[in-house]
Amino acid sequence: MNIIQVANVRWFNATAWYALYLSKLLQQDGHNVLVLTLPDTPPDSMARDMGLHTLPMDLNSNNPLRLARTCVDMVRLVRSFQPQIINCHRGESFFLWGMLRKLGLPFQLVRTRGDQRAPRSDFFNRWLHKNVASSVVVTNKRMASHFLKTMRTPEDQVWCIHGGVDRKTFAFDAQGRRRVREEFGFGPNDFVIGLVGRFDEVKGQKELAQCVARLREKHGLNHIRLFYIGFETATKQDQVQQWIQELGIQDITCISGKRNDMAACISALDLGVVASLWSEAIARAALEIMACERPLVSSDVNVMPDLVPDQGLFPAGDNQAMLGTLLAAVTKPEVRESLIQEERKTMSQLTGNDFLKRTLNLYSSLSNKAD
């Protein structure tokens, strides 16, 4: 198939990752894939580094003249590339692609909602997703429920397709675990609690630090260590280090910075934590932690209840609940083993190949309808 993935995302976030990883899987499967990106953005650079065929296009402009030129370029592209499927991973330009389809250009239009914000349920939005889009892909069950119940999108048009993970890249690495633990000074008897993700308020680095401090002070767990596998973005590293010092846990906390050995860093953990206050519509980090067979506990935001069993979930922003969940996981080996076993079952259905197959099932069904 000829497929266009519209990845007009400014930052390399989970939405961009979902679009680019899917594009790579489709390309490796023999499909002709073109990725539309925003010029001079991290997703554009990453797509090219991944060996994808890209076309930078100013799809997010509010300038009427630029928008008009972009529309002309879109028409020319559809006529020359002749895509069977166009998949929009962001809302910007979705309406424009929809209008081209309504004007008779021969392609099927998919809208993938990989962000946490539910669309407004007004008449225009309901019409757009029901009558203009060929299908809507959502990345978690909560968003699926919103489309089915609130947006009243027909059931056969809503597909829930979780992201997958490359199990060859992300797997438990015993040698890497030993190397990384030695590098950061974690001893054989230390229990390492880790959070994977950029430094940002949404990720809950501060809340996790507060809970780790209480585990040490109130519960006497002096063997615990805190490992932030990430780097500064919206929140600066100096701010994170200030929290750590104020809580008195600077002697047990390490920050990885940018790494090229993520599987080894994750393997160094004894417990992974997603402490996010919101977001996590796709949860790339959670998938990678579970693929490395590290037990994972998480806040209950968005996709996380689809991935983590109830015993590993706590309400987002509830430090007392997070503390209780962490305490059980740290002190009870049977809890950690149960988490691993349940999450192993989940990950058996979330490989890259599963991601590809579910997407191709959708694309093929749409292509058959067009025929």
Which residue range(s) make up the domain with 98? 2-164+351-370
Give tens-digit pLDDT for 37-50.
Answer: 999 999 999 999 99
- Whether 251 and 222 map to the same domain: the answer is yes
Whole-angstrom distance, CA of residue 329 vs CA of residue 311: 10
Residues 346, 351, 354: CA angle, nearest 5 degrees: 100
pLDDT per position as a tens digit, 174-225: 999 999 999 999 999 999 999 999 999 999 999 999 999 999 999 999 999 9
Which residues, listed in sequence order, are joined to residue 109 by a DSSP beta bridge?
A: 86
Q: Are residues 311 and 195 both part of a single domain?
A: yes
CATH assignment of the domain containing 307: 3.40.50.2000
Q: Are residues 278 and 336 in the same domain?
A: yes
Residues 339 and 357 in one domain: no
Residues 121 and 44 in one domain: yes
Q: Does some domain include residue 181?
A: yes
Residue 6 has pLDDT above 70, yes or no: yes
Write down the mean pLDDT value for the chain. 94
Question: Which H/E stretch holds residue 302?
Answer: none
114 and 208 together in one domain: no
Residue 283: inside a domain: yes
Do the domain assignments include residue 169? Answer: no
Question: pLDDT tens-digit profile of 307-333?
Answer: 999 999 999 999 999 999 999 999 999
In this structure, the answer to whether residues 194 and 298 fall within a common structural domain is yes
Residues 179, 328 within the same domain: yes
**Cα–Cα distance for residue pair 254/230, rounded to 1 Å:** 10
* Domain assignment of residue 80, yes or no: yes
pLDDT at 367: 87
Judge whether 6 lies within some domain. Answer: yes
Q: Give the sign of the dihedral formed by CA 156, CA 284, CA 249, CA 332.
A: positive
CA distance 147 to 126: 9
Give the pLDDT score at 279. Answer: 87
Residue 131 lies in a domain: yes
**H or E stretch covering 286:** helix 284-291
The verdict on 84 and 182 lying in the same domain is no
Q: Does 135 score more than 70 pLDDT?
A: yes
Domain count, the chain: 2
Residue 52, Ramachandran bin (φ over 0: left; ψ between -120 and 50: alpha; else beta): beta
- Identify whether residues 7 and 127 lie together within a single domain: yes
Quick one: 146 and 178 in the same domain?
no
Between 218 and 63, where is the model more confident? 218
The pLDDT assigned to 261 comes to: 96
pLDDT of 65 strictly over 90: no
Q: Is residue 117 part of a domain?
A: yes
Q: Are residues 295 and 358 in the same domain?
A: no
